[in-house]
Structure 1
Amino acid sequence: MTPLSGSRRTAVLAFIFVTAILDILAMGVVMPVLPSLIEEFTGSNARAGVINGVFVALWAAMQFVASPIIGSLSDRYGRRPTILISTAGLAADYVLMALAPNLWWLALGRLIAGATSASFTTVYAYMADITPPEGRARAYGLIGAAFSAGFVAGPLMGGLLGEISPRAPFWAAATFSGLAFIYGLFVLPESLAREHRMPFAWRRANPFGAMTLLRRHRELIGLGGVNFLVHFSHHVFSTVYVLYAAHRYGWSPAAVGIVLALAGVLDACVQGLLIGPTVKRLGERRTMMIGLFGGAAGLAGMGLAPTGLAFALALLPNCLWGLAMPTLQALMTRRVSESEQGQLQGANMSLASIAGIVSPLLFGAVYAASIGPGAALPHPGAAFLLAAAILAGAGLVGWRLARGAQTPD
């Protein structure tokens, strides 16, 4: 672990917080406007759901390829250059998407965004470098709170600016990413000591090679499965939420952004304020279970909600989901050495990316089959109900298989 002075640590954590916000902005800022742009090109709400699912899958496919490479590069060359290069690339990609004249250019932008946003594998590794194992659940909770802040700022900014122009959110995000890069040049030190670095090897820096790390550590296999299912179910939001809310409740882009912002505020409160005391009182495993089953209950409530108000109220149990990922991450980082933290995060993102490739296609197809005349599925909230069942399954798997990774309460 790399020691940092109090003032230096504060500056570093501030930069990590900003970087985490910008990573989630890469997906969040386009959520209120991208499906509407797709619908304009296709002229069909149902077809837009399918194509938007393909776009999300493209983003995840690049995460699948890039995450283990970025994680291994950070284990070899350090965390600082990896994070800074990714942040600069993200700024350039926002400019590209702001200028995109058609769906093909938007698709290219999502591919680049998937690669540059993979830097949050290094963000998690950075926090593991500077935080003792017993403090990682809380530290990852703070990162999760930063992601939630980005999830607030991204959709809210996208929704409000989208009322002016569908291009405006991308220009704003490019500006913020550029400023973050300049800020990081001055305040971000290296966290991985040279003696703890690992030579770069393509056998580890590819998606399947990175996941050999999980096979070498038996305790990680079950937790990796939970990680996969958690990410799988979460993509229901990026795939169908905007279209579902507009179709069932008649929400405008601004209303969609405001509700997403509310979800982000609740999640930030859970991860920033609640997770530390909960882990201290209940332990990491039980805290993770509360998060998984609470999230499942919220998803089910959203799928069954007859009104927009009922949908918004379902955010309350759903926000407990924020307890799951930080504790899952903390349990996994305890099982590998300092020189393997980047590879571990690359493996985690490979699993998450596989989920992100498959799940949007599934949820997009389920949504398309659940609306319109002669719908094969009788309920428009079928995609949310399916996601709830998957997340509940993750809770059952986690309760059994995380037993071996349980830390003392």
Structure 2
Amino acid sequence: MWRQPKAVWAVAFACVIAFMGIGLVDPILKPIADQLNASPSQVSLLFTSYMAVMGVAMLITGAVSSRIGAKKTLLSGLFIIIIGSAAAGSMNSVMSIVDWRALWGLGNALFIATALAAIVQSAKGSVKEAIILYEAALGVGIASGPLIGGLLGSISWRGPFYGVAALMAIALIVTVFLLPSTPPAGKPTPLSAPFKALTHKALFAVAITALLYNFGFFTLLAFTPFPLGLDAIRTGFVFFGWGLLLAISSVFVAPILQRKFGTMPSVMGALTGFAIILAVMGLYTEHKPVLIVGVVISGFFLGINNTLVTETVMKAAPVERSTASAAYSFVRFGGGAVAPWLAGKLGEDVSVHLPFWVGAGAVLLGVLVLVVGRGLFHHIDEEPDHGAERVGTLQEAELVSVADES
């Protein structure tokens, strides 16, 4: 899995930088609120605008990529992220930052949706191994994002935004020179393709589960820094521990559990564990050690879930993988968009405990969806080694690369 062409490592490096953006603002949420006189719910809109635009933009990523090619789509996404992050760091009001963060979300959508396709196409080995490599990049990015955000945020809350712009510029240059050109697809993907994909019950069920679990995920990410009450660098180290455990479990633990227990039992177990962590954090919100331990341990369960759910999406419906990914992401990022703002409002107006309870309840609802629809997922583990087919033996209609489709 680790002996890959330069093109794969180029995209993986860019993925690390792109996923830094998710957790990068965590350590500076409270400093931004303090220095710009904003409430937690207002600052949480940094997540809401980012996730909402990214979710909607997922619907067009397939159509764009099939018309201009995967490489140009990746480069467009990277360029937009550079503009959005640099401009956000230059603003003097929370709502102005929120607006530029939304543009950042558009760039991330174009990049992320195409990056997985590019890695699967260019990688040596199986689709399963390519997905694990992608999840490893995700984990490293999510882990390092809060740490870099904390280090730069200890200097100024603007530092993380400028840091992303600089790192993305490096990623853009690396992608330009190391990723081969990819021509447009012979047959452009219609804009209706993601909506048609969601008519497949298995894909729709896993997308709804992801939407519900994202309520818990982004409650943890966007709201915890406020009751935690630490400075930027210490908050960064807490979430670095969370991301590090997420990366380890996504790459090493998830495949072991999948082989031993199967995909769906492992996903349901991981989500149940995450819900319990959120419930404990809701019960002991005033105790900082409990919050710190809860944040870090939750990374273990989230890493397992991320890898296995991503693989499930790739095999849930008889549609192209890029279309399945776009449809799934559109639904799940809805949860990511609403949760940060809702958690902030509940914490401000009702109780500091309530956001964690709501997050735990939403995650358990996600488990219930999988239990009710478990018959839809029997095929996920029917193939040898859980469907870890070699990349080189995939049917042409199954390939996610628009280059091969042409």
TM-score (ref. length: structure 1): 0.84
Partner of 1:41 in structure 2? 36
Question: 2:244–2:299: 8 Å Cα contact kept in structure 1?
Answer: no
Which whole-Å CA distance do the structure 2 matches of 1:14 and 1:106 have between them?
32
Question: 2:347–2:355: 8 Å Cα contact kept in structure 1?
Answer: yes
**What pairs up with 1:43-192 in 2 under 5 angstroms?**
48-118=39-109, 119-129=111-121, 135-189=126-180
What displacement does 1:345 show?
1.6
Question: What is the aligned counterpart of 1:329 among 301, 310, 319?
Answer: 310
Q: Could you list the runs of 5+ residues in structure 1 that have no partner in the other structure?
A: 205-209, 370-375
**What pairs up with 1:270-309 in 2 under 5 angstroms?**
270-305=249-284, 306-309=286-289
Is 1:18 matched up with 2:13? yes
Change (3 A) 1:400 1:139: farther
Which whole-Å CA distance do the structure 1 matches of 2:376 and 2:2 have between them?
35
Q: Which is worse superposed, 122-131 or 316-325?
A: 122-131
Change (3 A) 1:402 1:23: farther
What displacement does 1:137 show?
4.5
Q: Matched residue of 2:39: which SS?
A: helix
Is 1:363 matched up with 2:343? yes
Change (3 A) 1:77 1:143: same
Q: Per-residue displacement from partner, 1:203-234 (whole Å, max 9, x unpaired)?
A: 44xxxxx233111x232221121121122221
Change (3 A) 1:403 1:327: farther
Change (3 A) 1:397 1:202: closer
Which whole-Å CA distance do the structure 1 matches of 2:355 and 2:51 have between them?
19
Q: Matched residue of 2:26: which SS?
A: coil
Which whole-Å CA distance do the structure 2 matches of 1:192 and 1:352 have between them?
30
Is 1:313 matched up with 2:293? yes
Partner of 2:190 in structure 1? 201
Question: What is the aligned counterpart of 1:383 among 336, 346, 355?
Answer: 355
The sequence identity of aligned pairs, in percent, is 20
The amino acid that maps onto 1:24 is F
The amino acid that maps onto 1:239 is A
Which whole-Å CA distance do the structure 1 matches of 2:321 and 2:85 have between them?
29
Which whole-Å CA distance do the structure 2 matches of 1:192 and 1:141 have between them?
26
Question: 1:242–1:256: 8 Å Cα contact kept in structure 2?
Answer: yes
Alignment root-mean-square deviation, CA:
2.6
Is 1:220 matched up with 2:192? no
Which whole-Å CA distance do the structure 1 matches of 2:328 and 2:209 have between them?
10
**What pairs up with 1:22-33 in 2 under 5 angstroms?**
22-33=17-28
Which whole-Å CA distance do the structure 2 matches of 1:67 and 1:139 have between them?
21
**What pairs up with 1:236-275 in 2 under 5 angstroms?**
236-246=219-229, 251-275=230-254
Question: 2:211–2:336: 8 Å Cα contact kept in structure 1?
Answer: no
What displacement does 1:257 show?
0.7
Partner of 1:405 in structure 2? 377
The amino acid that maps onto 2:167 is F
Q: Per-residue displacement from partner, 1:320-342 (whole Å, max 9, x unpaired)?
A: 2211122122122124457x322
Question: 1:294–1:318: 8 Å Cα contact kept in structure 2?
Answer: no
Which whole-Å CA distance do the structure 1 matches of 2:336 and 2:298 have between them?
23
Which whole-Å CA distance do the structure 1 matches of 2:270 and 2:182 have between them?
30
Q: Per-residue displacement from partner, 1:73-119 (whole Å, max 9, x unpaired)?
A: 22443322211221122122222122223234312211111101112
Q: Could you list the runs of 5+ residues in structure 2 that have no partner in the other structure?
A: 387-406
Which whole-Å CA distance do the structure 2 matches of 1:332 and 1:405 have between them?
10
Which whole-Å CA distance do the structure 1 matches of 2:30 and 2:89 have between them?
15
Question: 1:75–1:343: 8 Å Cα contact kept in structure 2?
Answer: no
Change (3 A) 1:153 1:403: same
Q: Matched residue of 1:32: which SS?
A: helix
Change (3 A) 1:120 1:261: same
Partner of 2:393 in structure 1? none
Question: 1:72–1:346: 8 Å Cα contact kept in structure 2?
Answer: no
Q: Per-residue displacement from partner, 1:150-169 (whole Å, max 9, x unpaired)?
A: 12221111112211122222
Change (3 A) 1:218 1:130: farther
Question: 2:16–2:138: 8 Å Cα contact kept in structure 1?
Answer: yes
Q: Matched residue of 1:211: which SS?
A: helix
Which whole-Å CA distance do the structure 1 matches of 2:181 and 2:274 have between them?
36
Which whole-Å CA distance do the structure 2 matches of 1:202 and 1:393 have between them?
30
What displacement does 1:396 show?
2.1
TM-score (ref. length: structure 2): 0.85
Which whole-Å CA distance do the structure 2 matches of 1:20 and 1:286 have between them?
29
Q: Matched residue of 1:270: which SS?
A: helix
